[in-house]
Chain A
Amino acid sequence: MTEQRSTSVSTKASRQLWGRPELYTSYGQNLRMLNTRPKQVAVVAMVLLAATYVPFGLPDEWLHLFAMGLAAAIGAIGLNIVTGYAGQVSLGHAFFLAIGAYTASALSGEPGRRTIGFGITFLPLWLLAAGVVAGVAGVIVAPLATRLRGLYLAIVTLGLVFLGLHIFKEWKALTGGPGVGRQGPVPEMFGQRLDRNGDLLTGDQKMYLLTLVLLVIFAVFARNLVRSKVGRAFAAVRDRDIAADVIGVSVTRYKVLAFGISSFYAGCAGALLYAVLGRVEPDSFNLLLSIQFVAMVLIGGAGTISGSIMGALFITMLPRLTQELPTVLPFISSDVTAPLGAANLAIIFYGLMIILFLIFEPRGLFGIWIRIRNYFKAWPFSY
């Protein structure tokens, strides 16, 4: 880089302005992911807690739920990349989750059964394949985003969900058909089934730890991406696409990249989520699933990685929390079909939460966290 510049700029005066990068090593500090001590401490503490107390202190039922939430968080980070960072609203996330889930299920499924299976149960392999296939689908769909914007893009991506539902319903050899479904991806590594109880750990503990490790990896990669040249280009495309083009950012290229990466994350998340759940039903990849992911992003905070994680955990826990409501509030029915039943309540809740957050805290849970932090920074001199 240095050589290149000093040859491209000829005069002495210019060299003064363009400078000598080797003198400025301290920007490295400034550019770190966790550039302050409190941030480092907080993140390390959180990860330690999640890796020690949670898997060994909480009942398996909760670990199962947490594993779902952590897998969903990978998908939420993906949606946040395309929507929160690159500004391309997508309601088609469920479609890419489905592609990941079915790619992984088919690869790892037992051969010679009712549904397609290739018997490749090695987890890293099917996980990567799920991401790649979904990512390629995302890249194929992306040109839509170069022609449509805002609401129109949202509606067309919504169309993907219905297209997907139709295909998955008809393609019984892959999906098992509606109401029946098929086995989810088989998580195996080095001859160990991760979803079954072992000598040391239960299946739920293993799946929880697996999703935790993977989430940390995916989150760190995403964080690297958004603080890089690519992340800045996404923001430029989101905020002003004419100006982005004029300063040298190819808008088309970055929209395609955003869709590709986002779908890769969705594919991996879909594969993991259904490996945790154990079964895949074609009807589950519906509009509600897409909306849940939008809710994760909006409630967690658009344009933040940690927000996506908070949002995903929150939305995944919500149905479980509303299930507890009938025991506390007698007028709420535990009957699934009742209008004010626990299941519908969760849906009403998503809607309400989205609206409330959009109005009162557009930065989402992340924004609330910032407020709390600022409050304590000023403590005891609040206000």
Chain B
Amino acid sequence: MTEPILVFDDVHLSFAGVKAVNGVSFEVGERELFAIIGPNGAGKTSIFNVLSGVYRPQRGRVVFDGVDLVGKPPHRIAALGMARTFQNIELFSNLTVLDNLMLGRHHHIRYGAPSAFAWFGRARHEEIANRAVVENIVDFLELEQWRSFPVGLLPYGVQKRVELGRALAMEPKLLLLDEPVAGMNLEETEDMARFVLDIRDELDIPMILVEHDMGLVMDLADRVMAMDFGTPIVTGTPGQVQADEGVIRAYLGQEHATEVTS
């Protein structure tokens, strides 16, 4: 493995007694597709929130592309090249697909308010250039027919794709995908898997994938970290993780728990 793009080192995050992330360490390589699995409440989304700066960990180090992220506000971290999608879609639902994607270009567009007022010249030039980038993403994710629709009116599966597009528009150095196929039907899931593979193979963007769909994780991931109650159980190749007893116990345990409650 070459120099890692991300080092997550002994991170602790708790909320009023709940230890959401409890001493988690891992590294993600330059071209790696790293997956995180674990039962509900294991702390997967919390790791993403630490990475993107939404939560500040009480302890630990997060080094992204050589820069320590702890304490940096989310928009700074985004500008460093970290992009993510959300478990529950967080799009700007009144805006069109194009505007949502253009918002992904925000920090690539350099002009400020004075040029914006004048429009002609710099603002117009940059808008056109960035619009072209966005149109390429529209092509890539096959969103042509939706591009001028307000996002809130689109089907769920398409919204998930738009959110991926917004993250891609940021030209990230690391892409975080929080349950990209949750709630999707088989066809939509296959489409999404294809896009994820294309992103890795054609765009060379390393990714962290959080997903409950085991088939997808085992097919796509280079390495997998399984965790429970905020603590990693095992990190390894998909095969190693699948065979791990701790992992089996964590999932069986959870199935017992859900049987009891439902």
A5 to B107, CA, bound (A): 13
B75 in contact with A224 (CB, 8 Å): no
Q: Select B79's contact among A27, A239, A248, beta carbons within 8 Å.
A: A248
A-B contacts besides A11-B204, A225-B117, 5 pairs, CB < 8 Å: A1-B126, A27-B127, A228-B127, A246-B84, A249-B106
Contacts of B204 in A (CB 8 A): 11, 13-14
Complex: how many Å from CA A247 to CA B124?
22
Q: Return 14 A-B CB contacts under 8 Å, by A number.
A: A1-B130, A8-B171, A18-B136, A25-B128, A225-B113, A229-B109, A233-B106, A235-B92, A245-B53, A245-B74, A246-B54, A246-B78, A249-B106, A261-B113
Chain A residues near B103 (CB-CB < 8 A): 232-233, 236, 244, 247, 249
Structural contact, A19 and B133, CB atoms closer than 8 A: yes
Other-chain contact of B92, A5, A236, A245, A251 (Cβ < 8 Å): A236
Looking at the assembled complex, report how far the CB atom of B161 sits from the nearest CB atom of chain A, in whole angstroms.
15
The prevalent SS among residues of A at the interface is helix
CA distance A33 to B171 in the complex (A): 28
B37 touches A (CB below 8 Å) = no
Whether B126 pairs with A19 at a CB distance below 8 angstroms is no
User: In the complex the two chains form, is A246's CB within 8 Å of B111's CB?
Assistant: no
**Across the interface, which residues of A come within 8 angstroms of B54, CB to CB?**
242, 245-246
- Whether B202 lies near A248 (C-beta < 8 A) is no
Find A2's partner among B109, B129, B171 (CB 8 Å cutoff): B129
The answer to whether A28 has its CB under 8 Å from any CB of chain B is: yes
In the complex, are the beta carbons of B166 and A14 less than 8 A apart? no
The distance from the CB of B200 to the nearest CB of chain A, in whole angstroms, is 11
Point out the residue from A14, A20, A221 that lies within 8 Å of B132, measured CB to CB. Answer: A20
Cβ contact within 8 Å between A246 and B52: yes
Docked complex Cα distance between A271 and B109 (Å): 35
Q: Is the CB–CB distance between A257 and B113 below 8 Å?
A: yes
Residues of B contacting A20 with CB < 8 Å?
132
Interface residues in B222-256 (C-beta closer than 8 Å to A): none
Interface string of B86-111 (1 = CB under 8 A from A): 10001111110001001110111111
Contact with B91, one of A1, A33, A243 (Cβ below 8 angstroms): A243
Q: Is the CB of B202 within 8 A of A17?
A: yes
Check B136–A246 contact: CB distance below 8 A.
no
Asked if A343 is an interface residue, CB under 8 A from chain B, the answer is no
Q: Scan residues 102-158 of chain B and give those whose CB is less than 8 A from a CB of chain A.
A: 102-104, 106-113, 115-119, 123-133, 135-137, 140
Query: Are A24 and B131 closer than 8 Å at their CB atoms?
Result: yes
Q: Report if B47 contacts A (CB, 8 A).
A: no
B135 x A14 contact (CB < 8 A) = no
Please state if A230 and B116 are interface contacts (CB–CB under 8 Å).
yes
- Which B residue's beta carbon lies closest to that of A249? B106
Q: Is the CB of B170 within 8 A of A247?
A: yes
Answer whether residue B182 sits at the interface, using C-beta atoms and an 8 A cutoff: no
A224 contacts B131, C-beta separation under 8 Å? no
B residues at A contact (CB < 8 Å): 52-54, 73-75, 78-79, 83-84, 86, 90-95, 99, 102-104, 106-113, 115-119, 123-133, 135-137, 140, 166-167, 170-171, 201-204
CA–CA, A214 to B201, complex, Å? Answer: 55
Rounded to whole Å, the gap between the CB of B172 and the closest CB of chain A is: 10
Given A229-B123, A232-B95, A239-B94, the answer on whether A23 and B132 have CB atoms closer than 8 Å is: yes
**Cβ of A31 and Cβ of B132 under 8 Å apart?**
no
The answer to whether A239 touches B92 (Cβ under 8 A) is yes
Within 8 A of B (CB), among A214-243: 221, 224-225, 227-233, 235-236, 239-240, 242-243
Select from chain B the residue with minimum beta-carbon distance to A24.
B132
Within 8 Å by CB of A248, from B107, B119, B125, lies: B107
Whether, in the assembled complex, A40 has its beta carbon less than 8 Å from a beta carbon of chain B, the answer is no
Total A-B pairs, Cβ < 8 A: 151
Q: How far is the CA of A71 from the CA of B188 in the complex (A)?
A: 53
> Which B residues are in CB contact (< 8 Å) with A9?
171
Q: How far is the CB of A244 from chain B (nearest CB, A)?
A: 8
- Say which residue of B109, B140, B166, B201 sits within 8 Å of A247 (CB atoms): B166
CB-based contact A243/B128 at 8 Å: no
The verdict on A284 contacting chain B, using a C-beta distance below 8 Å, is: no
Pick the residue among B104, B119, B137 that contacts A228 (CB under 8 A).
Answer: B119
Contact check, B109 vs A245: say whether CB atoms are below 8 A apart: no
Q: Contact at B116–A19, with CB atoms within 8 Å?
A: no
Q: Does A374 contact B (CB under 8 A)?
A: no
Q: B residues within 8 A CB of A19?
A: 132-133, 135-136
A240 CB to closest chain B CB (Å) equals: 6
A27→B128 contact, CB < 8 A: yes
Q: Quick check: is A112 within 8 A (CB to CB) of the other chain?
A: no
A327 an interface residue at 8 Å Cβ cutoff?
no
CA distance A276 to B197 in the complex (A): 65
B89: shortest Cβ distance to chain A, in Å?
A: 9
Docked complex Cα distance between A221 and B111 (Å): 15
Residue A232 contacts which of B78, B99, B128, B136 (CB distance < 8 angstroms)?
B99
Q: Name the 9 nearest CB pairs between A and B, nearest first.
A: A248-B78, A228-B116, A21-B129, A243-B90, A224-B119, A24-B132, A245-B74, A21-B132, A19-B136
In the assembly, what is the distance between CA of A257 and CA of B171, in Å?
A: 26
Partner of A245, one of B75, B119, B202: B75
Closest to B95 in A: A235
Q: State in angstroms the CA–CA spacing of A33 and B120 once bound together.
A: 11
The answer to whether B124 touches A28, judged by C-beta atoms less than 8 angstroms apart, is yes
- Partner of B83 from A8, A13, A247, A250 at Cβ < 8 Å: A247
Task: Give the distance in Å from the alpha carbon of A14 to the alpha carbon of B171 in the complex.
Answer: 10
Report the minimum CB–CB distance from A268 to chain B (whole Å).
Answer: 14
**In the bound complex, do residue A24 and residue B135 qualify as a contact, i.e. CB atoms below 8 Å apart?**
yes
A87 to B52 Cα, complex, angstroms: 24
**Complex CA–CA separation, A224 to B90 (angstroms):** 27
